[in-house]
Every structure is written in C-alpha cells, then in structure tokens.
C-alpha cells in the first residue's frame, strides 16, 4: 500500500466520538463529501462510531474521503469482548484507525504500552494509523509537557519501522484543549509540534521526521483553523465537536492559506 504521506499534504480529520445513529451519520457524511468534492490538495478523514462505518462507507463512495475507526484491536479475532479487529474495520470500509485518543487514555485507562500494541497491530494489517499524544493541564503547568509527550511518542512507536512510519500520522492534542473551547495558541502548538518533529528525527532518520504529518487537535474551529494551518509544523487537524456540523467542518476542510 502506498504511504500515508505525500509531501505532508494537509490532513483534515473529523472524529465523531460517540455521536450519530446510522441515519445521522449518512446525512453528515454526504454533506462533508459535498463540501470537499473539489479539493485535491488535501486529505479528508472521517472517524464515525463503529456502528456507522458501513453506512458512512456507502455515503462517501466515489469520494476521496478516508474512512477511519476511532480505535482498533491488535488481534484479528478471539476473546476480546468489546474490541474491533483491523480486519473488521477493513470489512466495514475503513482503511485507518485512530489510536491513543486522550479519551481512551483518560476515561478508559489505556496505557502507552497497550496503545503501542494497537499501533503495531494496525500497521501489521496495513491500516493507516493516527496516533494521538497530549499532556494534561497539570503536566503543562508543572513544566512536564515535553517529558510526557516524549514518553508517549517513544513508547507508542516502539518497534515501528521507518517504513511503517509512512502509514502513520501523529496528532498532538493537549488534553486541556479537547472539548473545552480552550485552544492552544498557534505559538504553543507550533512549538510543541516542532519539539515532536525534533524527537522523531532522533528516533528515526531526519527524512522520516520531515515527512511525517503532525496534526493539531483541541477545540479547532472555523475561526482558528487558518492561523493554526499557517504554522510550519502543523500539517492538519483532528477535530471533534466542530466535525459534527457539516458547515463548520466544511469551512475547516477548506481552510484558507494565510
């Protein structure tokens, strides 16, 4: 399969979290497809709940939208109650998976080691992976943000080869900015993205770091997307709340280059 990056094409991703019935999902996906039909210089990804994947897959057929799961198991089948395998995601029409979202970490107690297993399993199955990392407010205020992020990146990527990095995207999502209406400033986000890219160039060769897409997530809205996307190390966004409204997400997809 071809790599996920192409000269860091902007990737605009919508995470619908635990929202939408199949009918609502179809309507929203069709509206998003209509909003991005003519865009060819950026990628668009939608992550509906598992139950709506097939419906969304049908609704976006013929568009270039990438369909994604919100999580994925590292095993193909077996006694893993409540989990969804890479093959099941692909069967439902998805070719990507979000892994390590802060809600998985904070609410469901997923550890870096568990998240690493998910990353490895998804890559083994040729899925594209969006690995999320991000510090809490306490950690940032204690001056520990970069340490926390370094751990999350190092452990999350343990065993991931440079070749597999072509099918991986990182998403920096400060926990204090998710769903709070409080966005990192563009300077804070850029500084953190540059730190993560620097770390990647230590873990891999520089060209891997240079080509890796790093998304920003945390209260991205039509009103702040342009300035965020103007930052040199921000290669896309992962959007929660504003992705549930077709007009808002359409404006985010069609961000304006400053």
User: Which residue has the CB atom at the shortest distance from ligand PEP?
Assistant: 240
Active-site choice (101, 103, 110, 193): 101
How many helices (DSSP H) and strands (DSSP E) are in the chain? 11, 8
| Residue in the block written with tokens 């998240």 | 115
- Rounded least distance, CB 219 to ligand PEP, Å: 4
Q: Which is nearer to ligand PEP, 116 or 219 (CB)?
A: 219
Site for ligand PEP in 173-192 (CB under 6 A): 173, 178-179
Site for ligand PEP in 226-245 (CB under 6 A): 238-242
CA distances from 12 to 74, 93, 120, 229, 236 (A): 25, 19, 23, 10, 5
φ and ψ of 127, to 5 deg = -80, 155
**Does 19 qualify as catalytic in the annotation?**
no
Binding mask 10-29 for ligand PEP (x = CB under 6 A): -----x-x------------
- 145 in contact with ligand PEP (CB under 6 A): no
The answer to whether 229 touches 210, Cβ cutoff 8 Å, is no
Binding mask 196-225 for ligand PEP (x = CB under 6 A): ---------------------xxxx-----
> Per residue in 83-119, is it b (16+ CB within 10 Å) or e — as a string?
ebbbebbbebebbbbbbbbbbbbeeeebebebbbbbb
| Residue in the block written with tokens 């072509």 | 166
Helix (H, G, I), strand (E, B) or coil at 124: helix
Q: Which is nearer to ligand PEP, 120 or 242 (CB)?
A: 242
- Number of chain positions touching ligand PEP (CB under 6 A): 14
**Chain residues that interact with ligand PEP, rule: CB under 6 A:** 15, 17, 173, 178-179, 217-220, 238-242
Active site residues: 101, 173
């Amino acid at each position: 399969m071809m790599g996920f990056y192409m000269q860091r094409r902007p990737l605009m991703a919508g995470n619908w979290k635990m929202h939408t019935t199949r009918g609502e999902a179809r309507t929203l996906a069709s509206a998003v497809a209509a909003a991005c039909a003519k865009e060819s210089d950026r990628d668009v990804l939608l992550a509906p709940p598992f139950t709506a994947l097939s419906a969304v897959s049908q609704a976006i057929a013929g568009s270039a939208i990438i369909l994604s799961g919100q999580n994925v198991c590292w095993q193909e089948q077996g006694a893993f109650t409540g989990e969804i395998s890479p093959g099941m995601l692909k069967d439902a029409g998805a070719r990507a998976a979000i892994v390590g979202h802060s809600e998985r970490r904070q609410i469901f107690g997923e550890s870096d080691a568990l998240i690493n297993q998910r990353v490895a399993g998804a890559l083994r199955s040729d899925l594209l992976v969006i690995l999320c990392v991000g510090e809490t407010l306490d950690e940032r205020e204690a001056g520990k943000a970069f340490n926390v992020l370094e751990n999350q990146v190092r452990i999350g990527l343990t065993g991931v080869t440079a070749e597999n990095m072509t099918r991986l995207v990182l998403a920096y999502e400060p926990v204090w900015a998710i769903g709070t209406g409080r966005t990192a400033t563009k300077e804070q986000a850029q500084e953190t993205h540059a730190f993560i890219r620097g770390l990647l160039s230590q873990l891999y060769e520089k060209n891997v770091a240079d080509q890796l897409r790093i998304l920003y997530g945390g209260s991205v809205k039509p009103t702040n997307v342009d300035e965020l996307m103007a930052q040199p190390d921000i290669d896309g966004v992962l959007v929660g709340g504003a992705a549930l409204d077709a007009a808002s997400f359409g404006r985010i997809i069609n961000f304006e280059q400053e």
